[in-house]
Structure 1
Amino acid sequence: MKLDPLSLRLFIAVIEDGTIASAAAREHIAAAAVSKRLSELEQMLGTQLLVRTNKGITPTAAGVNLSVLAREVLDGLNDIVARMRDFSDGRRGTVRVFANISAIATFVPPLVKSFNERYPEVHISLQEHDSLTITEGIANNLAEIGIFTYLPHSADIEVYPFRTDELTVIVPVGHALADRDEVTFSETLDYEHVVLRAGTHLRFQMLTAAGRHGKSLRANVEVSSYDALCRMVEVGVGIGILPAGNAAIYHLPGTRTLKLAEPWATRELFICVRRVDALSPVARLLFDHLRSHS
């Protein structure tokens, strides 16, 4: 048994208008076709739904009951269409985002908040990865949008400017460098560092710069977050290098922040996608939101 939504709609129209002719005109269909569908509906359900007289048509008890059920079904179908339309224009759905630790800890949270306030039915799946993994992940379609600190890569992706951040040095109060306002990276290499885990772009930058100075990066403690790095520095385990935005968030009373006087201390963050014109509607909405607030 298959109930046809059109037959249910015609049935409701006949009940509301009281005549087949009026319902047919309202639904832009021949009166004979309406009458045929009503007869087939009664035959399918095995019960009389309408009483036909020369004064018009009235529903039987079964017809009244069916009209209630039919309206619920048709409303449900309309809701499906509306919800799917939301997906087609980006107001519903899920968008996958890869971002590095610097972006997630500073720039991304307020942007996610403002986006969700505007599109509450959109789910954002945000994952933290190192910058190289992000570019490769976007190229391999593991996520729609990536936010990373620029570095040379071979991924076939489109890249757009996002934000700029500055690296700073944090030291414990009482450290030999604590009275300085700025320091070169070479000077920091005389002291023990607390560093981010291997694979991050910052760790790569520090190792590369140490090599240029002919020195080693002394790092006996490795952590996975800037929060942990700041706490380790505060208790005197070593000194640390991190973006200024992160230092402002995690800054602790037992530390001092110094300017890192190096050209590479200024870092560019970028947004990457495989192709802007190939983004899903929901991903395009988020991409445009991120770009408009860059």
Structure 2
Amino acid sequence: MRSFDPVSLRLFIAVCEERNIASAAKREAIVPSAVSKRISQMEDEAGVQLLERGRRGVTVTAAGEVLWRYARESLQLLDRMQAELGAFADGVQGHVRVFASKSAVAQVLPEDVSAFAKKYRDVRVSLEEREIWEVVRGVEEGRADIGVCWDAVDLRGLTTHPYHRDRLAVVVHPDHALALRETVSFEETVDYEHVDIVARSIMQATQRSAAAAAGKQMRYRIQVSTVDAAYRVVAAQLAVAIVPQEEASAIQQTLGLKVIPLNNDWAQRQFVIAVRNKGLSLPAQLLLESLQTSVKLSSVVIAPLDGAIQ
């Protein structure tokens, strides 16, 4: 049996994860027929059936599960090898890849990475902003050494360490009915039209669940793809927006908006540093320790607000 090439392995992994050849093809930017042909060639070379095809998608066979596991491990090692060789070619002694959610990048993470980079000048850190599910998948697959994100997602397959916390707040126009409040519950904001920030699907899903638990339903006035656009909508008095308090504080004076912390217990978010259960490279371990130290040294402690649900 011939060895499988990395491209075929990557396509096979995509099909196993998506459980659908068309979806895998879209994810990997290739036509479905080419993916199907690759899988068939792999089955011919292996001499076993790897997938069971059906009208609603595919099911991974026992043999396919074995290949899936080894394919992930092989590509992880290959990616690490290429990254480390590339680092030597560039004249540096190490390379650490970090995937982080939008909220993490918008707040303290860049400063923490910068502090590390100044101390370890021969280590290159690649910081990439990703959707929260991509952060988790990237670490699991070995495309990232370290992930930083909100702990609202399933992280059971990874080792996690507490990072910084933040609190969600509602941003309103100064003439809004809530503008004079010092704190407010999320349920009270649901009575007003909101901005739907599609780039933050986890936050939106959490809000919809909280609204449903209160017997209410979210009402969205307008949908935007960035937080900056959401602020402009609020400034135009079209709706209110739920965003991290620390992010919003920077624009409070610029646009003259009012940022009101939410006093719900779930509005205080815990961010985590996620790594694979297997050993980290020395540069990645040093960065992990540096990020943990920044948490201990941080003088900003977000305590529960008066009236918050305990």
> Normalised by the shorter chain, which TM-score bucket?
0.5 to 0.7
Instruction: Kindly provide the CA deviation profile for residues 57-109 of structure 1, in whole angstroms up to 9, marking residues without a partner as x.
Output: xxxxxxxxxxxxxxxxxxxxxxxxxxx9x96xxx7232111111111011112
Q: Which residue of 2 aligns with 1:130?
A: 131
Unpaired runs of 5+ residues, structure 2, are: 1-84, 296-310
Relative to structure 1, the CA distance from residue 123 to residue 167 in structure 2 (aligned partners, 3 Å threshold; closer, same or farther) is: same
Rounded Cα–Cα distance in structure 1 between residues aligned with 2:184 and 2:136: 32
TM-score normalised by the chain length of structure 1? 0.65
Q: Which residue of 2 aligns with 1:190?
A: 191
Q: Which residue of 1 aligns with 2:45?
A: none
Q: Is the 8 A contact 1:197 1:222 kept in 2?
A: yes
Indicate whether 1:265 and 2:251 are aligned: no
Give, in angstroms, the shift of residue 149 of structure 1.
0.6
Show the 5 A alignment for 1:189-268: 189-197=190-198, 200-251=201-252, 252-268=254-270
Show the 5 A alignment for 1:275-286: 275=277, 278-286=279-287
Rounded Cα–Cα distance in structure 2 between residues aligned with 1:239 and 1:186: 13
Local SS of the residue matching 2:249: helix
Q: Percent of pairs identical after alignment?
A: 34
Q: Is the 8 A contact 1:157 1:272 kept in 2?
A: yes
Rounded Cα–Cα distance in structure 2 between residues aligned with 1:289 and 1:262: 31
Q: Is the 8 A contact 1:149 1:201 kept in 2?
A: no
Show the 5 A alignment for 1:16-31: none
Rounded Cα–Cα distance in structure 2 between residues aligned with 1:164 and 1:138: 21
Give, in angstroms, the shift of residue 122 of structure 1.
2.4
Give, in angstroms, the shift of residue 163 of structure 1.
1.0
Query: CA RMSD for the aligned pairs?
Result: 2.4
Relative to structure 1, the CA distance from residue 222 to residue 155 in structure 2 (aligned partners, 3 Å threshold; closer, same or farther) is: farther
Show the 5 A alignment for 1:110-149: 110-149=111-150
Relative to structure 1, the CA distance from residue 211 to residue 198 in structure 2 (aligned partners, 3 Å threshold; closer, same or farther) is: farther
Give, in angstroms, the shift of residue 216 of structure 1.
1.7
Structure of greater Rg = 1
Q: Is the 8 A contact 2:199 2:225 kept in 1?
A: no
Rounded Cα–Cα distance in structure 1 between residues aligned with 2:251 and 2:125: 25
TM-score normalised by the chain length of structure 2? 0.62
Indicate whether 1:292 and 2:293 are aligned: yes
Letter of the structure 2 residue corresponding to residue 255 of structure 1: L
Give, in angstroms, the shift of residue 253 of structure 1.
3.6
Number of aligned residues: 208
Rounded Cα–Cα distance in structure 1 between residues aligned with 2:153 and 2:130: 16
Q: Which residue of 1 aligns with 2:35?
A: none
Q: Is the 8 A contact 2:251 2:257 kept in 1?
A: no
